[in-house]
Amino acid sequence: MTGKTIDKMMSLKPVSRRRFVAGASALSLGAGLGMAPFVRRASANTEVKVLNWQGYGTDEAWALEAFKAATGLDVVHEYYNSESEMITKLQTNPGAYDVIVTNSAWNARASDLGVIQPIDTAQIGHFADLNPSFRDSPLLGTGGNVFGVAWVWGITAIAYSTEVYAEAPNSIEVLWDAKNAKRVSVRDDAIEMVNFAAIATGQDMNHPADLGKVKEKLLALKPNVALLWSSEDEWNKQFQAKAFDVSIYWSGSALRSKTNFQLPVGFVVPDEGAVGWFDGLAIGKDAPNVEGAHKFINYMIDPTYYVDWATKVGAPASANSKAMAALPDSDPSKAFYSDEAAIKRLQFMAPLSDEERQAYSDLWTEVKTEFAQ
Amino acid sequence: MTPTTRTRWAILGLTGPAYLWLAGTIFLPLTAMLVLSFLDKSPLVPQPASFTLANYQAYFSKSFYWPLTRWSIELGLWVTLFCFLIGYPAAFALAKRVKGRWREAIFLLIVLPFWSNALVRVFSWTMVLRSNGIVDVAVQSVFPGAPTIDLLFSYPAVIIGLVHSYLPYMILTCYIALQAIDDSLIEAGRSLGANRFTTFYRVILPLSLPGIVSGAALIFVPVIGSFMEPRILGGTKGATLGMNIEEQFTVTANWPLGAALSFILLAIVLVIFGILYPVLRRQGGGA
């Protein structure tokens, strides 16, 4: 599971990630393998069948009512609990889904497998308003084809205590600074840690050429790491207890820590860069209602819908620049996500092979074993 | 119907549901995991999987698994030892010294931690153990200028948290064993001239050994697979094999490797109990 998906989960319910994943994996096995024959085919032209995480924007009742009033289309949902489950569902039920929410790290995997089809952007009225950093990302399209319309996004970067730092630490090296012995926290996540060590050593964060350097950099964190955090709730508790001053953290969570819990949290994208993620909206191969799918995607990136979602429920940042501009000035996320220069410094999560995942996991375990000694 | 067949039917009728339940909830999933541990792909991948020993080979070929295993076993031994040292005297006092309503009240206090969520318990310990936490503040107020006590994110913190979580098992199993010992046996030992220590060592301890063994098994097995308490209380000092197994299911989605590691852990537990079993049998006088 990637950082952003958990970020997303945490924004919805304070579920413990571990428990959620354990339950979800068990469910997904049943859902992925056993339930396929019972999937109802969407009846074309009156329905749009959506595959997404539960409670993640597309299934808000008020939004679906508004969409039905505008287009006459009913929206039917099916859910996945992990990205690998999403891919499995697309492979085992071809032609069952119209719109699929695909993460930047998984969209290319889906298009490579041929389970999603190119999107006719001329039918998406708001497409031109999307931030080019996301809209034109190679992670959402190849060879002139667009396989995903950028929808929402977030950042994994550095959070710090504003009581300790009068000014934002601008370098990723703050994590390795000898002054910060036992004052740093990082998430216990292999991929995120490899990403950051790769950025700090000036490499491609997704596929670092020199894993030896990455390992060396991570080992050098040993004297500074006070704790490894694993959930937003835990992060807030430890931060409040001043167990650390600086940490790798998620943008949405940092915003919540600051506004909902009044913690003195600052968040910065260092000069060297940080990790970015975004979700795209894709159209399934042989989708029963291609026209409806385009309409629904256009509605999902509509500023009016986004402002409602963000203010009524709470949402990640929109990839539509006009939607961000339409947020009320009092909304803290408006200023928070508006730093174009910071967005330019981000590296985005790309698809990883199973071998890469395993290699990163082994590397991080080795580093943790060294930490414990 | 002869009485024997009736008895047989009665036994089947009474134990059948339990066996069915065990077969459905333990044996089947465990078999599925065993098969999974020999596959080269997770069941989430639609390509057909083939059989391989690579997952088991990974355990022996990668250098970090051995220290993780050793630490997990050490953690299990320490926690079991402390549970015994604290729990056995408590069980003895409950079984032989405390009577009536007091016993019920104390039992309630022992079982009370079970009523709260395990995660809540662990987080409460973080508040107690940290510097400027409850223990630290108490010590500082009595002895101003004493060195600060900061146990959080250390190995002792993991042991404290785990002992607290699993202590009730040891007390309850030892209590049942001790309570079953006929007081007249103890009196007989005393009247035959044995002092308190000899009575304890020759009579009480051997007779209560089954309770100690089952308590130890109930504690040791889950502790060596634990991952939540070491992560939250141990910080970087709480590395266990259980944490790596969890990661195979949640991060790398390499279920086969996770399953293989789980079975290696299970094998280690079985080997340990296999070695201890004859020793305990002899000690327990065939009990």
Q: For A338-347, write each residue's pLDDT tens digit.
A: 888 999 999 9
- What pLDDT score does A42 carry? 44
Domains and CATH numbers, chain B: 64-283 (1.10.3720.10)
CATH pick for A154-275+351-372 out of 3.10.180.10, 3.40.190.10, 3.40.640.10, 1.10.3720.10: 3.40.190.10
**Average pLDDT score, chain B:** 87
Question: Are the beta carbons of A21 and B248 separated by less than 8 Å?
Answer: no
Query: For the residues A162-176, what does the mean pLDDT come to?
Result: 95
| CA A222 vs CA A136, A228, A245, B50: distances in Å | 39, 11, 16, 40
- What pLDDT score does B45 carry? 64
User: Which candidate, A110, A103, A107, A116, places its Cα nearest to that of A2?
Assistant: A103
- The band of B40, judged by pLDDT with boundaries at 50, 70 and 90, is confident
For residue B165, pLDDT over 50 is answered with: yes
- What pLDDT score does A345 carry? 94
How do residues B73-125 score in pLDDT, each as one tens digit? 999 999 999 999 999 999 999 998 888 888 889 888 888 878 888 888 888 88
For residue A13, pLDDT over 50 is answered with: no
CA distance B153 to B174: 31
Which among B236, B252, B253 is the nearest to A368, CB-wise?
A: B236
Residues 112-171 of A with CB under 8 A from B: none
For residue B277, pLDDT over 90 is answered with: no
Q: Spell out the residues 6+ positions from residue A41 whose beta carbon is closer than 8 angstroms to its own.
A: A95, A96, A288
For residue A17, pLDDT over 90 is answered with: no
Interface residue of B252, B255, B257, B261 to substitute, partner A, most A CBs within 10 Å: B252
- The band of B287, judged by pLDDT with boundaries at 50, 70 and 90, is very low
For residue A172, pLDDT over 60 is answered with: yes
- A360 contacts in B (CB within 8 Å)? 252
Interface residue of B68, B158, B236 to substitute, partner A, most A CBs within 10 Å: B236
- Decide if A141 contacts A116 (C-beta within 8 A): no
- A230 contacts in B (CB within 8 Å)? 231-232
CB-based contact, B64 to chain A, within 8 Å? yes
Query: What is residue B63's three-state secondary structure?
Result: coil
- B241 contacts in A (CB within 8 Å)? none
- Strand-pairing partners, residue A125, are none
- What pLDDT score does B100 carry? 83
- What pLDDT score does A196 carry? 97
Length of chain B: 287
Domain residue ranges of chain A, discontinuous segments joined by +: 3-153+276-338, 154-275+351-372
- A105 contacts in B (CB within 8 Å)? none
| CA A335 vs CA A231, A256, A352, B99, B211: distances in Å | 25, 14, 32, 67, 63
For residue A348, pLDDT over 90 is answered with: yes
Query: Which percentage of chain B shows pLDDT scores above 70?
Result: 95
Query: Which percentage of chain B shows pLDDT scores above 90?
Result: 45
How do residues B207-223 score in pLDDT, each as one tens digit? 999 899 899 999 999 99
Annotate A77-104 with DSSP letters as a single string.
EEE-SSHHHHHHHHHHSTT--SEEEEET
- What pLDDT score does B112 carry? 84
CA A55, A61, A66, A72 torsion-angle sign: positive
For residue A184, pLDDT over 80 is answered with: yes
CA distance B244 to B261: 9
Query: What is residue A249's three-state secondary structure?
Result: strand
Å from B126 to nearest chain A CA? 9
- Decide if B51 contacts B39 (C-beta within 8 A): yes
Alpha helices in A205-317 (DSSP H): 211-219, 232-240, 251-259, 290-300, 303-308
Q: What is the CATH number of domain A3-153+276-338?
A: 3.40.190.10
Question: Are the beta carbons of B236 and A228 separated by less than 8 Å?
Answer: yes
CA distance A361 to B75: 23
CA distance A53 to A82: 8
For residue A2, how many C-alpha atoms fall within 13 Å in the half-sphere facing its CB?
25
- The band of B152, judged by pLDDT with boundaries at 50, 70 and 90, is confident
CA B136, B137, B142, B147 torsion-angle sign: positive
- The band of A233, judged by pLDDT with boundaries at 50, 70 and 90, is confident
CA A171, A173, A178, A184 torsion-angle sign: positive
Are both A3-153+276-338 and A154-275+351-372 of the same fold? Answer: yes
How do residues A18-35 score in pLDDT, each as one tens digit? 333 334 444 444 444 444
CA distance A184 to A19: 26
- What pLDDT score does B91 carry? 94
CA distance A322 to A354: 38
**ipTM, 2 dp:** 0.76
- A241 contacts in B (CB within 8 Å)? 126-127, 130, 132
